[in-house]
A = this chain, B = another copy of it.
Amino acid sequence: MGDIMMERELEKRAALVSGAIEQFLPVVHPCGLYEAGRHLLDSGGKRLRPSMLLLAAEAAGGDAAALAPAAVSIELIHNFTLIHDDIMDNADVRRGRAAVHKRWGVSGAILAGDTLYSKAFQVLGMTPAEPKRILEAMNVLSWTCTAICEGQWLDLEFETRDRVSESEYMEMIEKKTGVLYGASACMGAILSDASPETAKKLDEFGRLTGMGFQIQDDVLDLTAPEKILGKRRGGDLIEGKKTLIIIHALAHNVAVDVFGRKDASAEDIEKAIKVLEESGSIEYARSKAVMLVKSGKDALEVLPDSPARARLLELADYMIRRRY
């Protein structure tokens, strides 16, 4: 399947999710709160996580269309984390829009995020499935949210440290990014009455591909054409973000002069990127992303062959093949 086919498949599911967001998160009294909550949700995005949930449900033999509430719950959790993370990172812009705290203030953004958080559990509770299954899915979601908080805490803590080991970094991205993809695939399976083993394998699939996706994101920051990136290359570098690339470089005594120097010139940044290419640090991260996605795909062997399973495999490749 080519990129265009994959994108069509994703768009179909994204449309379903967007419609369900309208339905399950209407702008009601007090409107300001719900407008703030909908701000980023309405700016689109590829809806990769809820699409993964729906594809996992199909692949596990479930009725994906019935799982729209569960898919929405995943997207609400994702957006809640974006809103709160943007406060913590003091980010101005997200998806081409003002960050929620820039428009509604820090208090408004804290509350908008908190509202999406509880709405996620509310909406998940409306999924037409056996109570036992919904409860299992809710347990997955609550454990996942705790792990996401831990991951974000580690990410902030790393900023204050000189060195971060590769295993610490891997733990951080697993919690910050991996677990929500894992929960997406796993909840799709659980709500389709899949066996515990299948659910576990789908969690593994989502978690590993999600981690690959995150590492690829770090790679793209250094390698993608600026036109596609929508911003200057090397932003993470001059902000001093401890990505896998930097961790590899530091471990191999590669001097990255612009690291953490926000005033670095474009020329110096490009030079540093060249150094990281030559040291093999970028390639190291790139191949790590590929390996993670490969392991994730292997976990899908638990499923019988089907068009939906093939699409999940394609989605995994797509997640590290392109991003903008």
Enumerate chain A interface residues (CB-CB to B < 8 A).
29-30, 32-33, 84, 87-88, 106-108, 110-111, 113-115, 117-119, 121-122, 125, 131-132, 134-135, 138-139, 141-146, 149-150, 152-154, 156-157
Contacts and interface: CB of A to CB of B under 8 A. Distances in A.
Contact of A87 (B107, B117, B134): B107
A134 B142 CA distance: 14
A153 B121 contact: no
Given A30-B150, A135-B135, A150-B30, A125 B110 contact: no
B32 A157 contact: yes
A117 B139 contact: no
6 contacts: A29-B150, A106-B106, A111-B156, A115-B146, A121-B141, A125-B139
Contact of A149 (B114, B131, B132, B146): B114
Contacts of A119: 142, 146
Given A125-B142, A135-B135, A138-B138, A153 B88 contact: no
Given A84-B110, A121-B142, A142-B118, A30 B157 contact: yes
Contact of A110 (B30, B110, B142): B110
Contacts of A106: 87-88, 106
Contacts of A125: 135, 138-139, 142
Contacts of A110: 84, 87-88, 110
Nearest to A140: B125
Nearest to A84: B110
A149 B84 contact: no
A134 B121 CA distance: 13
Given A106-B106, A145-B114, A121 B138 contact: yes
A61 to B, nearest CB: 22
A33 B139 contact: no
Nearest to A142: B121
Given A106-B87, A122-B139, A145-B117, A33 B153 contact: yes
Contacts of A111: 84, 88, 149, 152-153, 156
A142 B119 CA distance: 7
Contact of A142 (B33, B122, B146): B122
Contacts of A114: 84, 113, 117, 145, 149
